[in-house]
Structure 1
Amino acid sequence: MLPMDDMPMADDLTQPDANLPPMPSPATTFATSAQFASASEGIGFRDATIGDFFGNTALISGPSYGSSLPEDGFNMPLGGGDRRYKITENVSPIPVDRWFVNYNHFSQPVRDISGAGIDVDRVTLGLEKTFLDGSSSIEFRVPIVGGLDSTQNASQSGDQTAVEFGNVNLIFKSILLQNGNQSALTAGVTLNLPTAQDGQLFDTSGFLVSTVANDSVHLLPFVAYYRQHSSRTWSTAIAQVDFDLNGTQFYLDDDGGTRTCYGRYQEQTFLYLDYSVGHWFYEDCCGNALVRRAAVIGEIHYSTTLNDTDTASAGPSGDIVTNPYNRLDVVNATAGLRFQLGDDYLLTAAVVAPLKDEENKLFDSEIAILLTRRF
């Protein structure tokens, strides 16, 4: 039994050891997190997700456009027909300095005013820049879309496609919690801004019936969890909600400057849940080949509406805009190969396949080619 003089007193037990490191302050945590983006393994540069989504779900129908049933309508011709955005489109939860070019080809995701299904090609130019010692970043994306012409004429047949500038996206993200270089929890928000031009709808006689105002702003907060399972294997889980803040107005201005507003359509709120896992199966042992690494990536994507569809007037003769199928549950699978070229370039090729049918199948298939450069 220890002598009384050698036993620890209560005051001794409550005093911290002088040799223990201090608890990190928020500033220290942010500074440490910069190592994540600038680590020698290039975490955040190499391990981005691929993506899957095309979200034009509203259809316009009515006597002015030669259709009677809402499900026989055509898609809103704004931004080439492609306006929604998901954070999973070629992004890492970890902030990183980079520029990138995304190419996505969607098979038959939209219908023009004649009811013909058309393919959509989207090229996205993007730039991401870090700040706060690399713990946060802001990203800027400009889509250029070959799809629906913003002018749709029910009296014309044939091609009604065009190349259109889409809606610009601004993305802010920051690391909240980090466990060394093993895992990180991040959060952020996306603003989808109405920079694409307005649409114009002409009836079966060739007269302008309605202007579709591209003035809807989408707010998309998200949280993401990144984990490095080994030096070659990683995974990412992302949850995001897409809110339409102010809706899309349908109106007509007459020669006297009087505006007739038919209605305002507010798009449904979407929940996006995404999981991506990748493995680097090849690595150049010498570090001087063109292809330094090669990875295989698999992803599963679930998108669902959180509220019932809106229905609004889209013209003077009982024309409407709505989602005729109301609630949607979309599941897509993505598979791709990624190559690290030298120290600073990534090239990714992927395919996306819908796993559901009917209204829950937003396109027939997708091909994605992604090029990213770190700086």
Structure 2
Amino acid sequence: MLFRLRGRAALLAAVLACPTMTAPVMAADCAPAYGNKCYTQPHATQPYCPPGTPSAPPVEPPMAPGDKPMDDPMRDPMTDQPQAQQQQPQAQQPQQQQPQLAQPTFTPSAPTTAASSPQSVSPNMIGDFFGTGGGTISIPQMSRDFTGPILSGGSPAMFTALTPSGSYVGSPASPVFVTQTVPGPISVIGDAVGTIPTGSFWTAAGPVPSGFGPFATFTSDFLLNENPDETAATAAAFPNSAAVVFNGAQAFFVSNTGTVTPIISGVPFEGNGNFAVGTSYTIIDSFAQTLYVPAPASTNGGNVGRQKIGENTNPIPRDRVFMNYSLFDGARLAQGGVNVHRFTPGIEKTFFDGLASLEVRVPFAATANSNFVAGGPIDDNNVEFGSLTFYLKTLLHQTSNVAVGAGLGIAVPTYDDSTVSIFNPATNSLQRLVDIEAESVHLMPYIGAVLTPTERFFAQAFLQFDVDTNGNTVRTLNPMTGRLANTGTIQDSTYLFMDLAVGYWVHLNPESDSFVRGLAPVAELHWNRTLDSQDFVAGNGYVVGNPQQGRIETWNAVVGVNALLHDDATVTVGYGVPIAGGDDQFNGELRIIFNWLFGGAGSDPQRRVF
């Protein structure tokens, strides 16, 4: 009994003699150390036995050959087995586990390696492109004629013929005057649109016909020169016309309506009737001309613009809702430019464990009206919808500092048709000249990459194509029928987009409780180019699209700043300008972007910060 107590006391003293560490460590983290009776952590500088950790069995020195084991007070001499095994079953040794390493966190003061810098610190690209603009439509001269007598109360107005004093011998010499005695209206297509003042007169355009003399009855009509007062009244009746052209006038003798009473050498002119005046004018509503009108071709998005993958998007799929605002200063939708305010709300949702996502954009804008009136002002504050756009994204490859993704965009034509009209005073309404129907579906495949070599530095790039699959139908006015007729299909040019963005987090602490957790300036370069010349359609005297327009090329530069906010949100502000290419589509653009993460994106560090 005494030997047992002494042995246990010695073991207890050995355990207490081992130094300990303040940080608790599981027994699985310990390893046996020779030379003492306790465990040590593999990476600890001093051996220790954490609280609750059973001590290791004593290590006996090796026996020489032929030696017998010494008497052990803890062993039963009868069975040669430890007495503890006879009194109670041996305690099961705890199963060892791999040590649990601390997860790295992003703090501005602590440096990190590329291996601990996931693409989560790469924000979305800001973007640059408007992607559409105005163009040319050539229209033929639009005109209409009217010929008929001047009416008064539905009947021809009566005029008095006045001749110069002198005697008639045969046919008197010109001039002969036909003077209006009462105000007479001008009638065009049955509508009274102007009035000739009293006292207006016409003069004979040539010699007075025979039979116009003493004791003779007037039997023939004769031509008259232009009456300036009537032409002015006609032009005033068509204020929106391009021109009013006088074609001619003629005096008609209307018998049994009264007596023509000019006095010639004291002898009254013998006749039984009065005169009416018939006139002919051509109203030119529009000369043959080429108009610069908004969105004349099969553009993707109409007057709202295109939706590139490089606008507020990252190659990595993410769960988010967002709102993009863009102000395009001087967008080339009309002569002199138009300011366009575009809004693009949308949502992106991941699936397949975050390896893919579906993004939906619903753009609309305060922009130029897609219904253009020739010769009228530009309505540049009309609300228009753009193309409903879907992007299917997938993650192809990912390491700790590189990610590669690809996908396909589909733009559905939810924007308005483009039309060109002129005002028709005869019907007091607009006459449609050209109609470009919104029908084309665009496919936009892309590939993109993200690079984060350090915690702070990030870069990403996109390569994308935009292909019109079917074009838009063009209808023009047929002058023979007065109706719109199918003229052809106009195809949008195929675009190539290349986008590059680089940035650096000057402040980054995603785990802090402050409202602003990160700030990163960014610079972007965008190259946009068509791979073919602009298409055009010709027919019925119209040319929709410019046959002389070659390929379009633009270079745009964008600078901005990304702010990482509390509650998984970001705000991005950027400004872009064209720098080369010669086919600028705006003077400058301001972009403000908001993103908010939801769902599983907040728990995945690869997709939590963007």
Q: TM-score, with normalisation over the residues of structure 2?
A: 0.50
Deviation at 1:204, TM superposition (A): 5.6
Is residue 516 of structure 2 the alignment partner of residue 291 of structure 1? yes
Max radius of gyration: which structure? 2
State the Cα deviation string for residues 17-46 of structure 1 (Å, max 9, x = none): xxxxxxxxxxxxxxxxxxxxxxx9884585
Q: From the superposition, tell whether residues 41 and 66 of structure 1 become closer, same or farther in structure 2 (CA, over 3 Å).
A: farther
Q: 1:89 to 1:324 in 2, by over 3 A?
A: farther
Kept in 1, the 8 Å contact 2:476–2:540? The answer is: no
Instruction: Please name the residue that 2:357 is paired with.
Output: 137
Question: How far, CA to CA, are the matches of 1:42 and 1:184 in structure 2?
Answer: 9
- In structure 2, relative to structure 1, the CA distance for the partners of 1:257 and 1:95 (3 Å cut) is farther
Q: 3-state DSSP class of the match of 1:209?
A: strand
Alpha-carbon contact 2:564-2:570 (below 8 Å) kept: yes
Selected match of 1:51 from 127, 136, 141: 127
Residue 361 (str. 1) matches residue 584 (str. 2)? yes
CA displacement, residues 308-347 of structure 1 (integer Å, 9 cap, x when unaligned): 221113x743232237531122100010011111041100
- Is 1:192 paired with 2:268? no
Q: Is residue 109 from structure 1 mapped to residue 331 from structure 2 by the alignment?
A: yes
Q: For 1:242-253, list aligned pairs within 5 A.
A: 242-251=466-475
Which residue matches 2:463?
239
Paired amino acid for 1:92: N
Higher strand share: 1
Hey, what does 2:396 align to over in structure 1? 176
Paired residues of 1:148 and 1:162 also in contact (CA < 8 A): yes
- More displaced, 337-346 or 45-54? 45-54
State the one-letter code of the partner of 2:596: R
Please tell me the root mean square deviation across aligned C-alpha atoms, in Å: 2.6
Aligned to 1:304: 529
C-alpha separation between the residues in 2 aligned to 1:183 and 1:159?
A: 48
CA deviation map 1:115-142 (0-9, x unaligned): 3421111000010000000000000000
SS in 2 for 1:207: strand
The one of 408, 422, 429 equivalent to 1:203 is 422
Distance 1:158-1:227 versus aligned 2 partners, 3 A rule: closer
Which residue identity is paired with 2:135? Answer: L
1:55 is paired with a residue whose SS is: coil
After superposition, residues 1-375 of structure 1 pair within 5 angstroms as: 43=119, 47-57=123-133, 59-63=135-139, 68-69=289-290, 73-76=292-295, 79=301, 81-112=303-334, 115-157=335-377, 159-179=379-399, 181-203=400-422, 205=424, 206-251=430-475, 260-284=485-509, 287-313=512-538, 316-322=540-546, 324-356=548-580, 358=582, 360-375=583-598
Task: Mark the runs of 5 or more structure 2 residues left unpaired by the alignment.
Answer: 1-115, 141-285, 425-429, 599-610
Q: Are the structure 2 counterparts of residues 66 and 94 from structure 1 closer, same or farther at C-alpha, using a change threshold of 3 Å?
A: farther
- The one-letter amino acid of 2:552's match is L
CA drift of 1:190 comes to 0.2
1:74: how far off?
2.0
Deviations 1:82-140, CA, capped at 9 Å, x for gaps: 3422100000100000000000000111234xx34211110000100000000000000
The one-letter code of the counterpart of 1:352 is G
CA–CA distance in structure 2, aligned partners of residues 44 and 319 of structure 1: 51
How far is the alpha carbon of 1:283 from its aligned partner?
A: 2.6
Q: Structure 2 vs 1, CA of residues 84 and 231 (structure 1 numbering), >3 Å: closer, same or farther?
A: same
Deviates more, 1:283-292 or 1:187-196: 283-292
Q: Distance in 1 between matches of 2:343 and 2:360?
A: 14
- Report the 3-state secondary structure (helix = DSSP H, G, I; strand = E; otherwise coil) of the residue aligned with 1:73: strand
Give the Å deviation of 1:60: 2.9
Contact kept in structure 2, 1:58 and 1:323, CA below 8 Å: no
Q: Are the counterparts in 1 of residues 558 and 577 from structure 2 also a CA contact under 8 Å?
A: yes
1:188–1:45 Cα change, 3 Å? farther
CA displacement 1:167-214 (0-9 Å, x = unmatched): 1000001011122x2111111000011012223221364311122211
Counterpart CA distance in 1 for 2:303 and 2:540 is 23
| AA partner of residue 166 (structure 1) | G
Please tell me the residue identity of whatever aligns with 1:132.
F
2:368–2:379 contact (8 Å) kept in structure 1: no
Q: Note the alpha carbon deviations across 1:271-299, whole angstroms, 9 max, x for none.
A: 10111111110134871111110110110
Q: Take 2:388 and 2:565, find their aligned partners in 1: how far apart are those partners? A: 29
- Does 332-341 or 53-62 show the bigger shift? 53-62
Distance in 2, Cα, partners of 1:250 & 1:139: 32
Cα distance change, pair 48–67 in 1 and its aligned pair in 2 (3 A): farther
Match for residue 37 of structure 1?
Answer: none
Q: Deviations over 1:51-75 (max 9, x none)?
A: 0001115613213676845xx6222
Aligned-partner SS, 1:299: strand
Distance (whole Å) between structure 2 residues aligned to residue 155 and residue 225 of structure 1 = 49
Q: Secondary structure at the match of 1:81?
A: helix
CA contact (8 A) 2:119 2:451 kept: no
- Partners in 2 of 1:158 and 1:235 — Cα distance? 41
Q: Relative to structure 1, is the Cα distance of residues 45 and 82 closer, same or farther in structure 2, using a 3 angstrom cutoff?
A: farther
Q: Percent identity?
A: 30
User: Quick one: distance in 1 between partners of 2:343 and 2:577?
Assistant: 20
Q: Secondary structure at the match of 1:229?
A: coil
SS at the partner of 2:127? coil
Higher mean C-alpha deviation, range 361-370 or range 57-66: 57-66
TM-score, normalisation: structure 1 = 0.80
- 1:76, distance to aligned residue in structure 2 (A): 1.3
Q: How far is 1:157 from its partner?
A: 2.5
